Amino acid sequence: MTDNINPIQLQSAVSAAGAQWQANETTISQLSTLEKRMRLGYVPSDGELTLEQREQSARMNFAVMQSAIDKGQTFSYPSYHNLQDGGYVTPIKDQSSCGSCVAFGAVATVEATYQMQKNKPNSGIDLSEAQLFYCYASLDGYGCGTGWWVSPALEAFVTGISDEACFPYIPGDQACVVCADWQNQAIKIKSHHEITDLAEMKEWLSTKGALVACFTVYSDFYYYSNGIYRYVSGDYEGGHCVSIVGYDDVASCWICKNSWGEGWGENGFFRIGYGECGIDATMWAVDSVVEPLAMIAPVYEYNATAPWRYQYSTSPDVQDGWTRLGIGFYAFGASQPGTVPVYQCRAENPWRYFYSTQGCIGEGWTNDGIAFYAYETQVENTIPVYRYVAAEPWRYQYSTSPSIGDRWTNEGIAFYVYAAKPA
C-alpha cells in the first residue's frame, strides 16, 4: 500500500502555499506506506511532550523569538552557521527499513560534536549505531518495529559506544555482538542536557557542536527534494529524529542531517523552517565528548652513551644497551580519530633514531615502522613535542620542554601529545 500523493499536484500545492521547497519523487516516496514508516522511529516517552504538544511548543517558541527580534533585541551568535563548513559533520548514512532514527541522530550529533570540541575536522570518526540500538535499546525492549527516544540513547554514551567496525549496522533487529575490546575503543560523553530556547540552540551550534532534534513527519515530507520544508498537505506518519548541524536566520531555517541515504533531499540533508512540525520544541546537547583513554599509552624515553642518543617506545623494556629514563609523554598505541602515525627512522654507525609523521626522508635512514600515534595539530589537553638535533654525528632528542641545553638545537614542533594520561 502506498499513499495517494501525486508529486505534480503536491508541487502545485507547495507553490500555492508560498512554501520554498520542491516536491518530487524520491528514494523514500516510492516505498510502501509500511516501509516509509520504518524510516522513522521516534516515540516520545511518558514524561515527554507528545508530538502534537511539541508542534504547539515549537510554534510558541518561534513566536517568542520573533517578537524579541521585532522589538530590536540582538544576539551574540552569527546569523548563519553550518558545521559542514568546518568539516565537522560526518558522512550521511542510511538507517534503511528499521525504526532506528534516534540512534542515527544521536551518533551523528556525538560525532560532529566530538570533531568540533576537539578541533579534529574530517577525523574519520565513525561510531556504531548498531551497538547503540541493538544493544542498548533492546535492553529496554525496543527494536526496529517500536522506535525509541533520545534520553536513553544519549545516556548510553556515558557508558560508551565503539566504532562502526566493531559492530557494523545491518537493518533489522540484530543480536548484540560487539568486538571483544570495544571498551578500549569506546567514545563516551560526560553528560547531556535539553535546550528549549531558540537563542541557546543557535549559540550552542555556533560554539559547541550539533544537536539532536525530533519532529512530526507528514506524508508530504517523503517527497522533499530541496529547499526549506514547511508542512503543506498529507497525513500524519509518525515521529523522526535527526541531527541539527546548522541554522540560517536569513532563510529562517535549521540545517539537518538525515539518515535516509545521500539519494534523498539535499544529498541526504534537509532544511526545515523555524517552528515547523515541532522541530525546535526541544533539542538535546552533548556536554563533553571523551576520547577512548584506554588506548592512550606511555611513551618511554631511552638513552645510550658513546655518543649520547635517544629512542622512544611504548615498550617498557627495550634492551641492547638502552637505559630507560622514564615516561617522556603519552600518545596512542593504536590509530584513533584525528591522529597520525609517528614513524621510527633508524641510522647506523652509531645507531640513532629520528621520529617523523612524514615517514623516513633522506639517505641513510631505515623506516622501522610506526612507533606510536600522535596529533599533527594541537587539540584539547595536548602539548607540543619539540625535535632537537645535535651534530657529529647527527642525533635527535624529543622533549615537551622548549629548551633542553646549549648543545641541542630546537628544530620546532614535531607533533602533539599528552603530558599525562587524562583522568
> Which residues are part of the catalytic machinery?
101, 240, 258
The residue type at 147: G
Distant-in-sequence, close-in-space partners of 270: CB < 8 Å, separation ≥ 6: 224, 229, 256, 258
Q: How many CA atoms lie within 13 A of 101 on its CB side?
A: 31
The C-alpha cell at 405 is 641545553
Q: What share of the chain is helix, strand, coil (3-state, %, to 5)?
A: 25, 30, 45
The C-alpha cell at 309 is 642518543
Distant-in-sequence, close-in-space partners of 235: CB < 8 Å, separation ≥ 6: 3, 218, 219
Q: Quick one: 304 exposed, middle or buried, by C-beta within 10 A (0-12, 13-18, 19+)?
A: middle
* Three-state secondary structure call for residue 200: helix
Residue with cell 558522512: 91
Rg from Cα positions in the chain: 26
Of 285, 305, 393, whose CA–CA distance to 349 is shortest?
Answer: 393
Beta carbons of 199 and 65 less than 8 angstroms apart: yes
Residue with cell 541531527: 243
Report d(CA 90, CA 93) in Å as an integer. 9
Q: In angstroms, what CA-CA distances link 379 with 202, 310, 419?
A: 24, 26, 13
Of 413, 297, 309, 414, whose CA–CA distance to 356 is shortest?
Answer: 414
Distant-in-sequence, close-in-space partners of 68: CB < 8 Å, separation ≥ 6: none
Beta carbons of 242 and 213 less than 8 angstroms apart: yes
